[in-house]
């Protein structure tokens, strides 16, 4: 074997080692998923290195990368796509071109990205909104919101709430031909968090007369109090979303002060005076038995009150919808929840399903045994199309 061939062989082995990650046998298209993950891991590593050099915040670097995947608001043969502002918040509006004899359904969609990245213009979100508008014969509003680290909670929540409230005005619904009795909200990941939070907030707003018929939450992040759930432990280093990255997202939602992230990882961020909140996120009583799998629930380690006083958002129900009491949950609309087996956020969704059902809310729970975080929105994967088809079929039947 020549020296050149040897170098190529060694290089190939090193590349394969970097890309390869052991996966469960039930994961579809494992090598494609590993390749996507390797690209993401490379970008994250470079962004981390740039941050260590003091040149750029990691989330700002990742935001720049995501911006390369944005596409303009271009109409096609089936859907008219425009951009406008709802209460000064930039949104994309997707309206089917075919004529309708009746008022259409309306769906308000909130993108994910850890409250730090993404937009309605990202190619995969744009395609999702087009498909949903066309197949559901619905007007889809895909909203933007200001992002961390420049903006922190409650800005993201307020932006989404203000855009949604604007959409729910009778004059706006009439303009787009939307039936006020057939409006739903949906979002994935951080967008699922925001969807759940604003849906709860709407219940107490006397100024918003039109209410939501359904909420559809796709692997939502619902609480930052306990980031040592069984799903966080089992999937701490899984592809696409690791435990450390999710905790960084949570921390950045509230502050650029890394001391909060450090305290969250050591489970010392909740003060003892807020100990009563853990009853809402106690996985030992809220998870179905098969997801506990011998895990032992440990009582939390309480921290000082300093972090909670400086950054009270992580104890705020608007940031952590799982902290809502049963009386609030009881009034929520028909709900659809997607959870994925290989996702740190799996147990957030599972606990919400349990609490909603206990409160009397009708819930359709789609647990994806071969799913992982991002499975819904990475459209180059087959699993994404399967989940989107199930999601749209549920919306057809219930919205």
Helix (H, G, I), strand (E, B) or coil at 325: coil
| pLDDT band, very low/low/confident/very high, at 301 (cuts 50, 70, 90) | confident
Catalytic residue among 159, 373, 377, 384: 373
> Is residue 17 over pLDDT 80?
no
d(CA 356, CA 326): 8
Helix (H, G, I), strand (E, B) or coil at 382: helix
Residue pLDDT, tens place only, 76-116:
999 999 999 999 999 999 999 999 999 999 999 999 999 99
Residue pLDDT, tens place only, 194-234:
999 999 999 999 999 999 999 999 999 999 999 999 999 99
Q: How many helices (H) and strands (E) does the chain have?
A: 16, 8
CA angle 384, 339, 316 (to 5 degrees): 120
> Is residue 262 over pLDDT 80?
yes
What one-character-per-residue DSSP string does 167-232 give? HTSHHHHHHHTEEEEEEEEEEETHHHHHHHHHHHHHTT-TT-----SEEEEES----SS---SHHH
Residue pLDDT, tens place only, 304-318:
899 999 999 999 999
- Residue 36: per-residue pLDDT: 86
Q: Is 189 a catalytic residue?
A: yes
- Please give the DSSP secondary-structure letter assigned to residue 98: S
- Residue 9: per-residue pLDDT: 54
> Is residue 3 over pLDDT 90?
no
Catalytic residue among 60, 188, 226, 343: 343
Burial of 259: CB neighbours in 10 Å, binned 0-12, 13-18, 19+ = middle
> Is residue 57 over pLDDT 60?
yes
- Residue 24: per-residue pLDDT: 82
- Per domain, the residue ranges of the chain are 1-56, 76-224+315-398
- Please give the DSSP secondary-structure letter assigned to residue 272: G
Q: Is 244 a catalytic residue?
A: no
One of 3.40.50.80, 3.30.460.10, 3.40.50.1820, 2.40.10.10 is the CATH number of 76-224+315-398, namely: 3.40.50.1820
Q: Is 373 a catalytic residue?
A: yes
Catalytic residue among 189, 231, 242, 384: 189
pTM, full prediction: 0.95
Tell me what the mean pLDDT of segment 274-297 comes to: 94
Residue pLDDT, tens place only, 365-399:
999 999 999 999 999 999 999 999 999 999 999 99
- Residue 22: per-residue pLDDT: 75
Q: Is the dihedral of CA 321, 322, 325, 328 positive or negative?
A: positive
> Is residue 13 over pLDDT 60?
no
């Amino acid at each position: 074997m020549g020296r050149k061939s040897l170098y190529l062989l060694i290089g190939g082995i090193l590349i394969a080692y970097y890309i390869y990650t052991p996966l469960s046998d039930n994961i579809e298209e494992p090598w494609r998923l590993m390749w996507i993950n390797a690209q993401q891991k490379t970008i994250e590593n470079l962004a981390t290195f740039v941050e260590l050099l003091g040149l750029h915040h990691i989330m700002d670097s990742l935001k720049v990368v995501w911006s390369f995947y944005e596409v303009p608001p271009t109409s096609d043969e089936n859907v008219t796509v425009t951009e406008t502002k709802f209460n000064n918040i930039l949104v994309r509006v997707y309206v089917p071109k075919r004529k309708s004899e009746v008022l259409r359904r309306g769906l308000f969609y909130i993108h994910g990205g850890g409250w730090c990245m993404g937009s309605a213009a990202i190619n995969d979100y744009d395609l999702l909104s087009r498909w949903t508008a066309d197949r559901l014969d619905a007007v889809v509003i895909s909203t933007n919101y200001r992002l961390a680290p420049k903006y922190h909670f409650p800005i993201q929540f307020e932006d989404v709430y203000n855009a949604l409230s604007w959409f729910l005005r009778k004059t706006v619904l009439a303009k787009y031909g939307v039936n006020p009795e057939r409006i739903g909200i949906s979002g994935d990941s951080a967008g699922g968090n925001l969807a759940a939070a604003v849906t709860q907030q709407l219940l107490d707003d006397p100024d918003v007369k039109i209410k939501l018929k359904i909420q559809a939450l796709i692997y939502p992040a619902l609480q930052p109090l306990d980031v040592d759930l069984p799903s966080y432990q089992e999937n701490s280093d899984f592809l696409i979303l690791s435990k450390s990255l999710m905790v960084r997202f949570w921390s950045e939602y509230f502050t650029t002060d890394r001391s909060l992230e450090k305290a969250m990882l050591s489970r010392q961020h909740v003060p003892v005076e807020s100990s009563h909140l853990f009853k809402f996120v106690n996985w030992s009583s809220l998870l179905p038995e098969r997801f506990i799998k011998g895990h032992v629930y440990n009582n939390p380690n309480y921290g000082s009150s300093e972090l909670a006083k400086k950054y009270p958002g992580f104890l705020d129900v608007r940031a952590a919808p799982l902290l809502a009491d049963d009386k609030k949950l009881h009034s929520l609309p028909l709900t659809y929840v997607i959870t994925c087996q290989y996702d740190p956020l799996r147990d957030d969704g599972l606990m919400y399903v349990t609490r909603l059902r206990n409160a009397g809310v009708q819930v359709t729970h789609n647990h994806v045994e071969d799913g992982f975080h991002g499975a819904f929105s990475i459209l180059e994967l087959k699993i994404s199309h399967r989940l989107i088809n199930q999601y749209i079929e549920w919306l057809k039947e219930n919205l």
